[in-house]
Amino acid sequence: MDHLLNYLEFFAKVITVAAAVLMVLSAQSKKKPEIYSITSESLNEKYRHDKLKVAKSILGKNYKSLAKIESQKQKKEKLNNLERAFLIDFKGDMHAKSIKQLQKQITTLLQLANASDEIIIKIHSPGGVVNGYGLGASILEQIRNHGIKLTVCVDEVAASGGYMMAAVADQILAAPFAYIGSIGVALEAMNFNQLLKNHHIGYEQITAGKYKRTLSTFGENTPQARDKAKQDIEKIHGQFKSLIQKYRPLIDIESAATGEVWLGSVAYQKGLVDRICTSDEYIFELLQIKNVFHIKCHRPIKLSEKLASGIGTVIDGLLHKLKSESKPRYE
């Protein structure tokens, strides 16, 4: 047991030093703007490489004839100067943290793409903050404004803010069991006022402006404050519906904007999507007629993040050690 206590003492020192380093690095990183790098990968080349790699082990001697055919096909693609399609993956969270990367990718593409090109956004998002996803929809609107075809693919989920972004597209493709819709707005807040009162703790909040604070976490919420908060989210909901009607005018917006979520197959019947199709299926179709490029945005991993990851590994090791020490053994 002594060696375990020594290890814990050493571990505590390491954590203290690491925490201090992380605080310094975090303070420094806030002063520097985040730098993103954009990369492009030809999916035609990737799929061809994967195909030949598998074929080599399956076909044996016949592999060479297939390789020759693929080589000739590749030359024809270059000579024919095929139209282009650009694929971007967007994975959104509650705070819409990936919007900055999407913005960088779209800004870069708009400097290169023309009216004969197509931009495909593969959206995976359950929605989140209004301002973040509103910005996301505005970014995608730029593609439409430049006269470039915009396609959105949904394999798993595009709900709430995720669907707000998808609705901007010329066409929406969804897998049959993808979650689609949730055209609504929610506002949730915990209130500890009664708990504070039970413990005889007062809470003061001074504001200037009639509606500077509506719902409070610690203060007492009044019916008037709740009504105002309700009015605010109704206005946001109205703008949400207006955006969808702008790009999908045939939808019965009142029956669609109830906040419900539907599977892709049902969403298709309601006009929320244009085709039942997975992203891989659509990309494979495009590979036959276009040069398809996968556009990725990378953010360098900060030293503070690397240290945090290292600390996590150490903690996992310690927990494993403690578990093994607590188990009965024969000596």
- Cα–Cα dist 101/154, whole Å: 19
Structure tokens at 214: 């509506």
CA atoms within 13 A on the CB side of 285: 7
Average pLDDT per consecutive 10 residues, the chain (331 residues; last block may be shorter): 58 63 59 78 91 77 69 64 93 95 96 96 98 98 98 98 98 98 94 93 91 91 94 97 97 96 98 98 96 90 60 63 50 38
- pTM of the full structure: 0.78
Domain ranges of the chain: 1-33+303-331, 36-182+260-299, 184-250
User: What is the pLDDT, as a whole number, of residue 329?
Assistant: 42
Q: Token digits for 81?
A: 């100067």
- What distance in Å separates the CA atoms of residue 97 and residue 120, rounded to the nearest whole number? 20
CATH topology of domain 36-182+260-299: 2-enoyl-CoA Hydratase; Chain A, domain 1 (3.90.226)
Tell me which residues are annotated as active site: 160, 212
Res 75: pLDDT: 62
